[in-house]
Amino acid sequence: MLKKILLYLVTFIAGAYIILALLCFTNHPDNTPCKGVNIEIEDYDLEILTGNDVMTLLNAKDVNPEKKEMNKISCRNIEQTIKASSLIEDCQCFKTHNDYIGIRVSCKIPIMHIFDKDGKDFYIDKHGDIIKGIPRAIYLPVASGYIERDMADKELLTIANFLEDNKFWMEQTEQIYFQPNKDIIIVPRLGNHIIEIGRAENLDKKMDKLKRFYEEGLNEIGWNKYKKINVEFDNQVICTKRK
């Protein structure tokens, strides 16, 4: 009998709580002004986007929800405005019970800075997606030369992912230059030479071969003996001496 009474009591309290919560939200005055915007940004510590950047974007498109009536704020419009930026991976916007707008943003992560054949710059992420309009400078490998936009998810992505996965070559690479035939030249940080690697294929084999040559050859004869080192061909390292 006591168990039944306790069960009825718990059920009554739970039901009363649900009804009270519904009444609170139902009677909430939607015409009250938005008190502010809370923004959370996930960009893996690169700090390429800030809350102020997001608010600047909302202001530019006249969808800043601050001080607007809550019932006139469209979370969908806010999401679509933010997602229109090539830097944004995803965005969620929601209203809170205390008259704030919450915005959660995740950013695409650039892995290479590129200057195309016309001198215009953009970035690519690990999927080869093009990113434009990053509001502040970040340190990344730089590629330039005879580059077309349609190379973003092909040759550029291949070499960018290779560098992203190889700490030694990431730190050693100063710049990547694409020739008109899409052959690649790497300008290293250490040594007064350039590296000719041919096309963006079999990079692991080519660069492992070069690293062995660095360790077994250049460490012995000096880093400034050659002006060019070519690792394009299998089982060969072709060096051009400095005059």
pLDDT tens, residue by residue, 24-82: 444 445 689 999 999 999 876 777 888 999 999 999 999 999 999 999 999 999 999 99
CATH code matching the domain that covers 110-241, chosen among 3.50.50.60, 3.40.50.11690, 1.10.300.10, 3.40.50.970:
3.40.50.11690
- 111 burial via Cβ count (<10 Å: 0-12, 13-18, 19+): buried
Domain residue spans in the chain?
A: 36-107, 110-241
Q: Which two tokens stand for residue 169?
A: 């070559």
CA-nearest of 154, 200, 161 to 177 is 200
Backbone CA torsion sign across 107, 91, 121, 204:
positive
Three-state DSSP class for 83?
A: helix
For 43, residues 6+ apart whose C-beta sits below 8 A from its C-beta are 49, 106, 107, 109
Q: Could you name the CATH architecture of 36-107?
A: Roll (3.10)
pLDDT tens, residue by residue, 153-183: 999 999 999 999 999 999 999 999 999 999 9
What's this model's pTM, rounded to 2 decimal places?
A: 0.79
Per-residue pLDDT, 190 = 83
Higher pLDDT, 67 or 14: 67
Measured distance CA(153)–CA(175) in Å, rounded: 19
